[in-house]
């Protein structure tokens, strides 16, 4: 068989660029702090890898943002492009380059909305592309291995050789290249010398209990704004002023209506009594209030007679998204 025909038979991996430090550039190679995220194009990131012959890659720049500025428009565009490429029979998997700061939110959202049966692998870097020893190229190469793995499925996050699941992955370090953790569950697996070693199941569609994902995705793509859900913390000396101020927004003109509140409680989702009184008042006023925990490990165990519901096993930021999607569904 001629070389070109053989190459054509390889499945395609599509790499979607959204920005982040992986595509960041600093004025000096030893500067790992004062750089601009989202400078290098995804096409350049891919071409600089120098891949083995026979691997068919396409790249597409969906956005070029610092992920701290992630917004609904970028998420909607990303969902549309992922949906388009996943439907292609010649595509075996997708890689998305993304900033580390909100990658866990995007991963959770994409799994909840798309529940893909092919791998959709988010990857990132803690050092800009211009660094003396950037971590992005290895992370991208590992993500490409996973996207071509014949059994992999679901939304996955790859960083520093580890494969994390969308419900558990959390950024836990401000600076180190191995910046992510998967809590009690641990990573799904690792990528070692281009081989995937898996320890627990791939994320399954509908694992968050939603069966009609297509309907939910259509509703999400039609949104002009996510239902407004704010995030608060309980802490020593907490009070109810912030909650009462937010409730005031629903009386006044201008601010989007407050639909939900997530509170990151202490320990097992416990709340300072002054804050809890205000939150119960908010619940009575029609705002959905959900408890999560400030703790990095464990889940909130509900108890009989709890005044406020809890979000099983999700971090505060993911609880915020889960609640917004729930409220979107009505």
Indicate which residues carry an active-site annotation. 21
* Closest residue to ligand SIN in the complex (CB): 99
Q: Does 66 bind ligand SIN (CB under 6 A)?
A: yes
Binders of ligand SIN: how many residues, by CB under 6 A? 12
126 binding ligand SIN? (CB under 6 A): yes
Helix-then-strand count for the chain, H and E? 9, 14
Considering the rule CB under 6 A, would residue 136 count as an interface residue with ligand SIN? no
- Could you give the dihedral angle defined by the CA atoms of residues 143, 144, 148 and 154, in that order, rounded to the nearest 10 degrees? 30
* Beta carbon nearer to ligand SIN, 103 or 196: 103
Element (H, E) at 7: helix 3-9
Question: Which one of 12, 13, 32, 100 is in contact with ligand SIN (CB under 6 A)?
Answer: 100
Q: Does 115 bind ligand SIN (CB under 6 A)?
A: no
Least separation in angstroms between CB 143 and ligand SIN = 14
Report the nearest approach of ligand SIN to the CB of residue 131 (Å): 12
Asked if 14 and 58 touch (Cβ cutoff 8 Å), the reply is: yes
CB 16 within 8 A of CB 78: yes
CB nearer to ligand SIN: pick between 21 and 153 = 21
CB 101 → ligand SIN: shortest distance, Å? Answer: 3
- Rounded to whole angstroms, the Cα distance separating 188 from 319 reads 21
| 79 alpha-carbon distance from chain centroid | 12
Residues sharing a CB contact under 8 Å with residue 232, sequence separation 6 or more, in sequence order: 242, 243, 261, 262, 263, 264, 275
Minimum CB–partner distance for residue 126 and ligand SIN (Å): 5
Could you tell me which of 133, 104, 136, 115 has the C-alpha nearest to residue 38?
136
What φ, ψ does residue 166 adopt, rounded to 5°?
Answer: -70, -30
Segment 4 to 63, residues that bind ligand SIN, using CB under 6 A: 19-21, 37
Residue 181 is a binding residue for ligand SIN (CB under 6 A): no
Question: Is 97 among the residues that bind ligand SIN (CB under 6 A)?
Answer: no
| Site for ligand SIN, rule CB under 6 A | 19-21, 37, 66-68, 99-101, 124, 126
């Amino acid at each position: 068989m001629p070389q070109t025909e053989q190459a054509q038979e390889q499945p395609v991996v599509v790499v979607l660029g959204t920005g982040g430090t992986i595509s960041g550039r600093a004025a000096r190679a030893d500067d790992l702090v004062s750089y601009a995220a989202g400078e290098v194009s995804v096409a350049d990131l891919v071409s600089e890898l120098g891949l083995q012959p026979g691997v068919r890659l396409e790249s597409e720049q969906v956005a070029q943002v610092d992920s701290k500025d992630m917004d609904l428009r970028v998420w909607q565009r990303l969902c549309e492009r992922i949906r388009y490429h996943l439907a292609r029979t010649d595509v075996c998997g997708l890689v998305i380059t993304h900033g580390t700061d909100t990658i866990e939110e995007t991963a959770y959202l994409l799994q909840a909305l798309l529940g893909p049966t092919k791998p959709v692998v988010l990857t990132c870097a803690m050092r800009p592309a211009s660094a003396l020893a950037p971590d992005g190229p290895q992370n991208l190469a590992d993500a490409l291995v996973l996207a071509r793995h014949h059994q992999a499925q679901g939304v996955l996050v790859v960083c520093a050789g580890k494969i994390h699941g969308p419900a558990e992955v959390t950024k836990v370090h401000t600076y180190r290249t191995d910046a992510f953790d998967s809590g009690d569950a641990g990573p799904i697996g690792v990528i070692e010398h281009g081989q995937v070693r898996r320890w627990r199941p791939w994320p399954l569609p509908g694992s968050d209990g939603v069966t009609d994902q297509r309907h939910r995705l259509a509703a999400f793509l039609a949104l002009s704004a996510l239902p407004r859900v704010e995030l608060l913390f309980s802490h020593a000396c907490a009070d109810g002023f912030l909650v009462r101020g937010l409730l005031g927004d629903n009386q006044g003109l201008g601010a989007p209506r407050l639909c939900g509140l997530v509170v990151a409680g202490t320990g097992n989702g416990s709340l300072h009594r002054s804050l809890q009184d205000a939150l119960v008042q908010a619940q009575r006023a029609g705002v959905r209030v959900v408890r999560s925990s400030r703790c990095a490990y464990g889940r909130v165990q509900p108890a009989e007679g709890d005044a406020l519901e809890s979000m099983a096993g999700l971090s505060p930021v993911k609880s915020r998204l889960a609640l917004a999607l729930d409220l979107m569904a009505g």
